[in-house]
Amino acid sequence: MITPRKPTSRLGQGLSALIPDGPAASEMLRSVPVEALEPGPFQPRGGMDRTSLDELAASIREHGILQPILVRPKRGQPDRYEIIGGERRWRAAQAAQLHDVPVVIRDLGDREAMAAGLVENLQRQDLNAVEEAEGYRRLIDEFGLTQEALGATVGKSRSHVANTLRLLSLPPQVRNLVSINVLSAGHARALIGAADPGKLAAQIVARGLNVRQAEALATTKPRPPGASAKPQDADTRALERHLVERLGLAVSVKHQGKGGSVTIRYQTLDQLDGLVRLLADSG
């Protein structure tokens, strides 16, 4: 029996603290029937992409399972195990019609099992962006980690953790589009703080906008109710659309007599730097 330490101190060292690289780990490595395993209660992922699962199954048929599945004994049921990390490998092994799979068995409590499952999936980049954000939130809430400590645990920068967590502020319909890979995380981040993210997300999908175009759409402010303006002619509207697609930023063109103005709006310094580089390259 392994004597558990406090979850917070172990988690800070990543999975190596839960599965040490020593004789103790190798002694617990064994092969068990694939039907002896079942998903654990702390899996961070939602659905699994069928195509990706089929590709993994094909690889397993050719090379076998290269990384053991992390499991713990199922309480009250001898020779049954709950999966802590590696459910995707287990499902792919079933599709590949393997009879046995390699496992590392650890007798972990619920909190340690949750931490290990989350950390393994996050380290393997095995989740979509929303599942990743939800995993970060659970680790922060359960273990009181700072974003910097969490980043060190899963091998990510603090800014990556912070930006990913911001996705959770989006409405459910937008998060769902990310979960099913209709919107990328970059598209979704462009909608954070927008007045109507759901409506903008639908426009992005319908128009097939790239991330820069989505950022431009999100930063375009609607005209206040009751405000009057001279209707634009078709040529001006077409010019604005062309500039938006070319620059990836919100652009407005106004004619004033024989002259006029072109206004380009940016949200971040990175967007400004990109515009400057684009103009310099065009010179």
CA 164, CA 175: separation in Å to the nearest integer? 12
Per DSSP, 39 falls in state: E
Nearest C-alpha neighbor of 117 from the set 30, 5, 18, 219: 18
Tell me, yes or no, if 215 is annotated catalytic. Answer: no
CA 136, CA 145: separation in Å to the nearest integer? 9
Pairing, β 100-105 against β 69-73: parallel
In angstroms, what CA-CA distances link 251 with 70, 202, 244, 247, 262?
A: 52, 21, 6, 9, 7
Handedness of CA 167, 114, 179, 63 (dihedral sign): positive
Which member of 27, 55, 62, 87 is catalytic?
A: 87
Q: Cα 3 from chain centroid?
A: 34
For 33, how many CA atoms within 13 A lie in the half-sphere containing its CB? 4
- Which residues carry out catalysis? 87
